[in-house]
Amino acid sequence: MITVENESIVKKKREAAFHAADMVEDGMVIGLGTGSTVSCVIHRLREFVEHGLHFTAVPTSFQTEILARRNGIRLVTLDEVEELDLAIDGADQVDRNGCMLKGRGGAHTREKCVASVAKRLVIVVTEEKLRESLNGSVPVEVIPFAYGSVRNVVQMMGGNAVLRESGGKDGPVISDNGNFILDCDLGVIDDPYRLEVSLDTIPGVAGNGIFSRYSKKTTLVVGKEKKIEVISF
């Protein structure tokens, strides 16, 4: 579903994204997530490229790859690097312990791969994304062959799983990995790590949108009405 952000949120997002982009230093290898927040980061990075900053990026989606190339950013694939100096991404929700819910853009599986090899994970959000506990729908990427059986298991776990459908064509959303996405409502997520592991162990699941394992290396850049707040966990 497409949502329209008000001017205040757009401003806070842009300022926080620019702050995160300013953390990129000459010679770095970085990861770039997917979505409107990272689009702001890329446009800021274009200015640095034009002024001679040299860095290389690993994109997490075709969307990010196309936008980065258009803005003059040098790209490599994940298998060409052993680790990343930092990765910059957004999040749909972040709880008090630094656990995150991601995947409205459908790139969470690749984003998790990138996060796992980054020395530092920089997450850009506005203050509206902060939660005491995660409580949103969890995107679960599944191979098409198994989406029905995965949906049944989620329902047996007490959740409701809905196949994400495309707004631009008939049929389901297809991820950059060629998979389907189930949006799974499991209520308030009191134990993100346990639920993340439980979902990942269902046969046919490629990845889910709970990020519970990266808090210690996460720097949260929060766009607020009158300032930017930087939080480490």
For the chain, the average pLDDT equals: 95
Lowest mean pLDDT among 79-88, 143-152, 160-169: 160-169
Res 86 pLDDT > 50: yes
**Which of 204, 64, 88, 212 has the alpha carbon at shortest distance from 138?**
212
Would you state the pLDDT for residue 2?
41
How many angstroms separate the CA atoms of 104 and 139, rounded?
7
pLDDT band at 169 (very low <50, low <70, confident <90, very high): confident
**Which of 125, 132, 156, 147 has the alpha carbon at shortest distance from 203?**
147
Token digits of residue 24: 């990129």
Domains and CATH numbers, the chain: 7-132+213-232 (3.40.50.1360), 138-208 (3.30.70.260)
Res 69 pLDDT > 80: yes
The answer to whether residue 82 is catalytic is no
How many angstroms separate the CA atoms of 163 and 170, rounded?
13
Single-letter amino acid code for the residue at 7? E
Res 173 pLDDT > 80: yes
Cα pseudo-dihedral 114, 133, 221, 218, rounded to 10:
-40
Would you state the pLDDT for residue 166?
84
Considering 111, 128, 141, 196, which one is annotated as catalytic? 111
pTM over 0.85: yes
Would you state the pLDDT for residue 170?
83
